Amino acid sequence: MALRYDTPSLTRWNARAYDSSFGYVSAQGEPLIELLDPCPGERILDLGCGTGVLTAEIAARGAVVTGLDGSPTMVEAARVQHPGLTFVIGDAAGFSVTEPYDAVFSNAALHWMARDPDAVIRCVRAALAPGGRFVAELGGAGNCAALTSAMLTAWREYGLPEPELPWYFPTPAEYALRLEKGGFTVRLLEYFDRPTPLDDCPGGAADWVRMFAGSLLDGVPPAVVEPLLRRVNELAAPALRRESGWVADYVRLRFAAVRA
Ligand code: BEZ
């Protein structure tokens, strides 16, 4: 195995629910693969690969791809769904490789690596061959602002301690600086709104919270969870509920950088 890793910080994930209700996370990764432009035979690392949907897309273009994720549940699901591919459990802020990669790819994952973004960038740089590409998309500043505002208000109204949100949504300037200080030349950086229909979330914002912020519910008394989530829905609805259904207020930061 070409990858060595420290003990990953465990994020509890329900991989099946993630795939069935939140498949858009992967579906929206296609333009990022275009930007990556993987070539046959290239060695590519998919950082925060989840259940491996995009890892498989990259492999289908002939690249030799490895998926890395901090969640054992996700990696297990990825191995079952894509038995011909290589997936490893690893900490994005603490891995190293024995054979360098031509590119590191990451979709909708870097914002989960909030503890030490510079360590992630350091690991990515060290994993790349000179001139190697780092192509990624994450939530940018203002991402999910209406969703998180509804959460914070509901928590406060129920007298609960303010939840510590587990994500990192940088501004373009901040992340570009990190990349440059981390030894990358930024070739492209885009920052844009991407309102995202929550097509498979009949429970609206509450379903989103259960899936993506489930750990924040751990500290909530069980009897309070349902009314709290109903309140999140009431508070979020004016901004996010349309006639056609719920739409999450996603903001994306997409970049392509090269190891300097
Ligand atoms: C996102 O893809 O922007 C995202 C997903 C889950 C939680 C937070 C952000």
d(CA 142, CA 127): 30
Helices (H), the chain: 15-21, 24-27, 30-36, 53-60, 72-81, 117-127, 145-157, 172-181, 205-212, 222-240
For residue 80, give its domain range: 3-143+166-198+249-259
pLDDT tens readout for residues 146-174: 999 999 999 999 999 999 999 999 999 99
Low-confidence ranges of the chain (pLDDT < 70): 1-27
- CATH value at residue 19: 3.40.50.150
Whether residue 108 has its Cβ less than 6 Å from ligand 1: yes
154 inside domain: no
- What pLDDT is stored for residue 16 in this prediction? 64
Strand partners, 196: 248
What pLDDT was estimated at residue 29? 86
* Number of the ligand 1 atom closest to the C-alpha atom of 211: 6
Does residue 191 line the site of ligand 1, with CB under 6 A?
Answer: no
In a domain, 210, yes or no: no
212 within ligand 1 shell (Cβ under 6 A): yes
The full DSSP string for 8-43 is PPP----HHHHHHH-THHHHTTHHHHHHH---TT-E
Residue 60 in domain: yes
- Is residue 136 assigned to a domain? yes
Specify if 239 maps to a domain.
Answer: no
Instruction: Give the Cα separation of 224 and 227 in Å (integer).
Output: 6
End-to-end CA distance of the chain: 27
Asked if residue 76 belongs to a domain, the reply is yes
- 234 falls within a domain: no
The helix, strand and coil proportions of the chain, stated in percent and rounded to the nearest 5, come to 40, 25, 35
Q: Give the span between the Cα atoms of 138 and 175, in whole angstroms.
A: 10
Token pair of 163, please? Answer: 């939840």
- Residue 191 within a domain: yes
Q: Which residues does 15 contact at the CB level (< 8 Å), separation at least 6?
A: 50, 51, 71, 73, 74, 76, 77
The domain total for the chain is: 1
